[in-house]
Structure 1
Amino acid sequence: MIDEKIGALDDWRGGMLSRLRALILEADPEIVEEWKWRGVPVWSHDGMVCTGETYRSVVKMTFARGAALDDPSGLFNASLDGNTRAISVHIGSRIWLWLIVL
């Protein structure tokens, strides 16, 4: 289902979600991919790690326990209130920089 979602996004968002997915799978080969809430990819490992949501102008990676994570580099740029934190990826974002920081 995640493959279908990525394939249905006929603009930059499909490629970006695909790259983010690959990074997640590379970082944790034991992570479980799920499909929830009528079309949201979810990655879990001993509980939910993050979701990959797509909107008109952004791909948003929301981390379930983001508020508990240190963020000295300021990667989190969305959903800064509450227990979750997110990274909103816009067209042209360079995700390779995140790997260096993480």
Structure 2
Amino acid sequence: MTDWRTETVERVRALIFEADPDVVEEAKWRKASNPDGVPTFSHSGLICTLETYKDKVKVTFAKGASLADPSGLFNASMTAGTRRALDIHADDKLDEKAFRELVREAVILNES
């Protein structure tokens, strides 16, 4: 079944690869309640994870607290020491240009 979450996940995945075609996608943390695991995206280290919940799609940047976010995309995990997240709900419109820039910045940080 395809719903807004499936479409959002596919669009976010595409944006990540547009930002960096050399990204490696893997499924990690498989368990009985989530046999497909969590999609992770890496380049010289973990960039982000992509999770689907009942009411949102969550993109968590592993080193998000160290990234500039001039467009204010991050809206979750704001008090976490290292990570930052973006919760995308059904009616949200993602700033795709700013998201690609955030991915690129995460890659640069991993490579430094």
TM-score where L is the length of structure 2? 0.77
Q: Which amino acid aligns with 1:57?
A: D
Say which SS state the counterpart of residue 79 (structure 1) adopts: coil
Larger RCO of the pair (alpha carbons < 8 Å, separation 6+): 2
| Structure 2 residue ranges without an equivalent (≥5) | 31-36, 102-112
RMSD over equivalenced CA pairs, Å: 1.4
2:88 aligns with: 89
Aligned partners of 1:51 and 1:61 also within 8 Å? yes
State whether residues 75 and 98 of structure 1, in contact with CA within 8 Å, keep that contact through their aligned partners in structure 2. no
SS at match of 1:56: coil
Alignment partner, residue 70 of structure 2: 72
For residues 47-83 of structure 1, give each alpha carbon's deviation from its aligned partner in whole angstroms, at most 9, with x where no partner exists.
Answer: 0000001100000000001000112221100011220
- Separation in structure 2 between the aligned mates of residue 100 and residue 69 of structure 1, nearest angstrom: 12
Change in 2 beyond 3 A, CA 1:42/1:98: same
Which of the numbers 8, 17, 29 marks the counterpart of 2:9?
Answer: 17
Residue 36 of structure 1 corresponds to which residue in structure 2?
28
Determine if contact 1:77/1:88 at 8 Å carries over to the other structure.
yes
Structure 1, unaligned stretches of length 5 or more?
1-8
Runs (4+) of structure 1 moved beyond 4 Å? Answer: none
One-letter amino acid of the counterpart of residue 86, structure 1: A
In the superposition, the TM-score normalised over structure 1's length comes to 0.84
